[in-house]
Amino acid sequence: MKRSLIYPWMYLALFILTCGPSSAQDRYNILWITAEDLSPRLGAYGDRVARTPNLDRLAAGGVRYERAFATYGVCAPARHTLITGMYPTSTGAGPMRTWRRTSALASITDTALLNIPVYEATPPAGVKCFTEYLRAAGYYCTNNSKTDYQFRPPITAWDESSKTAHWRNRPDRSQPFFAVFNGEHTHESRTFKQVHPRFTDPADVTVPPYYPDTETVRQDIARHYDNIHALDTWVGEILDQLEEDGLLDSTIIFFFGDHGDGLPRAKRWVYDSGTRVPLLIRWPDGAGAGTVNEALVSFVDFAPTVLSLAELDAPAYMEGQVFAGGKQAAPRDYVYLFRDRMDPAPETIRAVRDERYQYVRNYRPELPYLGYIPYRDRAAMMQEILRLKEDGALGPEQWQFWATSKSLEELYDTQTDPDQIRNIAGDPAHFGKLTELRNAHADFLSTYGDLGQLPESELIRRLWPPAGAQSVTASPTIHVDGNRVRMESATEGASIAYRLSADENWRLYFEPIDLPGGTELEARAIRLGWKESEPSHKIIK
């Protein structure tokens, strides 16, 4: 990273001066509504079982994206991409949960499995949560409330991040906001038991051919639809609040899933069932209302796109491109998809998707597709699949559940085989497409590298050289000249947050500030992936 990133306030101040309009009040608000574990199972996408009137209405007033993809089929690395604008393979964020143990591993007693290392993904110096650039440009940024970024959420990222965070909490109602609301209604765990009222008849659901068509499987899919209905009701409440506040015509609204369905052979997998998500965008002026956009979109594009919509340029380290608004780039040729360790199950899978075909490269072909994931196995339909597998009763279209090893390469025509169960990599008629996508994968590796190819023990040493011990961010140095206060950290690329004695939340420092005499100041610095600094204190004379 450039040496100018040593003092982040210098970079951010230059960023605002060169890229932003004269007044933050002239900018649109931006609202993200995200859903956990959700494929495009909405009425707006042609799903006849889904009861989603609010989301369908949002789609009717906005643009529906047909080919939007998460980078991973699981939340933590996918959310890492969203917040940084970088591929997890560039930052060591690929394995499912790196920095803390969760309930997904709580039931494991095997000593070898419990030895999975704990570490924080560590981007290059100067990489920031993209919300810092919005905050520096005058946006009030709120997150309600999931983070799961593969590093400890820094105090510099949000004005507030909690279950009560809301645009309504900003002190100045004329201040533009970027607000995130995370819906948990459709999370995988909600299919483990009936949480919401039953609306969906199991007889009405479509069972994909990669599942056995049993009553248990139908029950779990129907329960997922019930959860989607609850999600839709919640989305409607947020949209009602926006309208009540008179903000509907000054806010750009995004709705999307954080990856595919929380069902077996969807969540955690690189196929469309695990990575393709619904994406709806409503523009304040109604531009494109009711239209469909079929361009390829990746999660790595979201951060630069939001900055562009806020009339800011994305920093050079971001690896995506702008896909919406006045400065959108040329359409993508490919999106790139990944799978690494999932809870205790080791894996390394990479995929390339164009508008029609998907190429899959299995770097651990000796492993079965169905690794040991006890959290996933809590689902009744997964227990049913495991029982049928043990009895030899799964059919040929369910081969990804019973295969004991994998092909080195896979190729699927999603137009003729939307369920991706017929591997045509060995068909000479498709060797041209196979070569094209294989080369696209090689080009990706040469351009971005792939830290996911390293064993995690070696990866940690790469992230935290030389011995794999986490560094501590240097505490801010506070310089006072009269009432003018300037802060810096000796850690390259560190961000600084501060608060005054009356503050509840942390403020982002990005340029010198003026404080009256007698003010008590506390400041901390953080570089992503490093430990937060010890606090620095100062009383302004």
β-pairing verdict for 160-161 and 291-298: unpaired
**At how many degrees (to 10) do helices 53-60 and 215-244 cross?**
60
Structure tokens at 322: 């702008």
Options 3.40.720.10, 3.40.190.10, 3.30.420.40, 3.40.50.300; CATH for 26-333 is 3.40.720.10
Structure tokens at 184: 């948990």
Sequence length of the chain is 541
Tell how far CA 200 is from the center of its chain: 29
Helix (H, G, I), strand (E, B) or coil at 141: strand
Rounded Cα gap, residues 372 and 345, in angstroms = 5
Neighbouring residues of 319: CB distance < 8 A, sequence distance ≥ 6: 85, 86, 87, 90, 300, 448
pLDDT at residue 4, rounded to an integer: 32
Structure tokens at 152: 């400890």
Q: What is the DSSP string of 371-395?
A: ---TTGGGSHHHHHHHHHHHTT---
- Peptide bond connecting 466 to the previous residue in cis, omega within 30 degrees of 0: yes
E strands, 60-194, are 63-69, 140-144, 160-161, 177-183
Tell how far CA 425 is from the center of its chain: 30
pLDDT at residue 99, rounded to an integer: 87
Rounded Cα gap, residues 400 and 263, in angstroms = 14
Neighbouring residues of 476: CB distance < 8 A, sequence distance ≥ 6: 487, 488, 489, 496, 498, 509, 523, 524, 525, 533, 536
Helix (H, G, I), strand (E, B) or coil at 204: helix
pLDDT at residue 106, rounded to an integer: 57
Give every residue of the chain whose pLDDT is below 50, as ranges.
1-22, 112
pLDDT digit string, tens, across residues 480-509: 999 999 999 999 999 999 999 889 899 999
Q: Which one-letter DSSP state was computed for residue 505?
A: S
Structure tokens at 213: 């068509």
* Architecture of the domain delimited by 477-539: Sandwich (2.60)
* Contact (CB, 8 A) for 314 and 307: yes
Average pLDDT, the chain: 93
141 is catalytic: no
Edge-first strand listing for the sheet containing 513-514? 477-481, 484-488, 513-514
Q: What is the DSSP string of 327-347?
A: TPPPPPS-EEEEE--BTTB--
The closest alpha carbon to 328, from 312, 308, 298, 311, belongs to 308
Rounded Cα gap, residues 129 and 497, in angstroms = 13
Rounded Cα gap, residues 254 and 32, in angstroms = 5
Structure tokens at 402: 């019973």
Rounded Cα gap, residues 16 and 138, in angstroms = 9
Rounded Cα gap, residues 413 and 419, in angstroms = 9
Q: Which one-letter DSSP state was computed for residue 457?
A: H
Please tell me the pTM assigned to this model.
0.94
pLDDT at residue 113, rounded to an integer: 57
Helices first, then strands: H and E counts in the chain: 13, 19
Q: Which one-letter DSSP state was computed for residue 295?
A: E
pLDDT at residue 216, rounded to an integer: 98
Q: What is the DSSP string of 342-358?
A: BTTB---EEEEE-SSEE
Which residue carries 């949000």 as its tokens? 158
* Contact (CB, 8 A) for 451 and 432: no
